[in-house]
Amino acid sequence: MWNRATVHFQLKQISQLFLALNSISKLRIMEMRRIGQMIYNRYLGSREAQMRSVLLTLSQRDGKPQPPAPVTNFRLVSSNPGRKLYIYEESSETPLVAKHNDFHRFPIYLTEVSEKTDPYWFHDSTPWSTISFTELAYTNNHSGGDFYSDLLGLEYPKEEFTVIMPVYNRLYRARKTIEGFRDVPHIHSVLVVFNNPNLNPADTEWPTINVPLKILRFKRNSLNNRFLPNNQIETEAVLAIDDDSCLTADEITFGFNPSEKLINTDRNGLKFSSQRTWRTNRASIVGQVSRSFTTEDKNLSYPVQCTPSYSMVLTNAAFLHKLHSVCETSPVCDQFCKKSCPSYSALTQHQRFHFTASVFS
């Protein structure tokens, strides 16, 4: 990142410095100023930033990773392993060791620090993490047919996603939605964000599905609880979905898995390419429900109409990387977004998530 904000010259080329500086385009000058301002704000802007930069440099020289990014921790209260049902409550405990579950990817502290992540914390995975060389040695070019290609391996390792669904008092509708996940492949676990502090989730008859069902009981009610990073998310992909969602199993699978060989058709008979999925756009928000904005009398509105283009994908049924939650709650990322967009604080949760996705993608 430092090389993108500076111009390097050897002493013997100092006579050509003036001509070289004049040859730099205005677009590159603006980009260098942006990177330079980011470096100053992140590493030198305050005494706290300077002290953190010194500690970051010392730890990197010793080859030590940064502390794990802060998450909301939960402790197990009750469980029913036979039904794969687990109930958790918020805990103040902090993990001392960072987890790195995906052996297919290099940890972020072994790669170049990106401007899109907070360098003071350890992230076990990012949308830009490098795939290990063992996976690149078995890339799938389909030259030997699907059977031999599957034996050699895919371009990306097979992965799953975590479903996060908020629940308050529509328990009957939530149970019906959870039952619909039985026919959806690639699900690692289902996390129910239980926002009602007046009800006990153990008193509810939860359905039995073929993946672990984890009930996360929060201390306060907030629609943003599902966007908070927590220690129960073990996959990179996260499906944020409402308890009254009407998505079918085929629609959810199509939005996640890029290995579909057939052309998919929606309810209206329209055909879509299988490449516009989350696994091929890991830094983006991929979903089924979209909105387009219109301006009438200087008023901004998002009508529910079918249009050929859209402005955002609503996060009530969308795939996203779990790093989006970390970026949403990180003070460094929050300051960067506020400086990039003066009206960032006035945006809705959907708009803020999409602005974060546009900045960090």
pLDDT per residue over 56-115, tens digit each? 888 878 877 777 777 888 989 898 988 899 999 888 765 544 454 544 454 444 444 456
- Indicate whether 134 pLDDT > 80: no
Q: Which CATH number fits domain 73-359: 3.90.550, 1.10.10, 1.10.3470, 3.10.20?
A: 3.90.550
Return the top range by mean pLDDT from 2-6, 73-77, 136-140: 73-77
The domain segmentation of the chain, as residue ranges, is 3-61, 73-359
- Cα separations in angstroms, 93 against 65, 76, 165, 309, 323: 20, 12, 24, 45, 21
- Indicate whether 303 pLDDT > 90: no
Residue 3: which pLDDT band, with cuts at 50, 70 and 90? confident
**179: which residues sit within 8 A by CB, 6+ positions away?**
207, 209
Q: For position 43, what pLDDT does the model report?
A: 84
Place of tokens 């057939």: 262
State the average pLDDT for the chain: 75
- Cα separations in angstroms, 229 against 211, 220, 269, 328: 21, 16, 37, 9
Asked if residue 158 lies in contact with residue 258, where contact means CB atoms within 8 angstroms, the answer is: no
Work out whether the CA dihedral 79, 80, 81, 85 comes out positive or negative.
Answer: negative
* Burial (Cβ within 10 Å: 0-12, 13-18, ≥19) of residue 45: middle
Asked if residue 223 lies in contact with residue 210, where contact means CB atoms within 8 angstroms, the answer is: no
Q: Which amino acid is at 155?
A: E
Return the top range by mean pLDDT from 152-161, 162-171, 284-293, 327-336: 162-171
**56: which residues sit within 8 A by CB, 6+ positions away?**
66, 119, 120
Percentage, residues of the chain above pLDDT 70: 66
CA gap 195, 193 in Å, rounded:
6
Angle between helices 331-340 and 349-359 (to 10 degrees): 90
Average pLDDT score over residue span 114-140: 62
Which pTM value belongs to this model?
Answer: 0.73
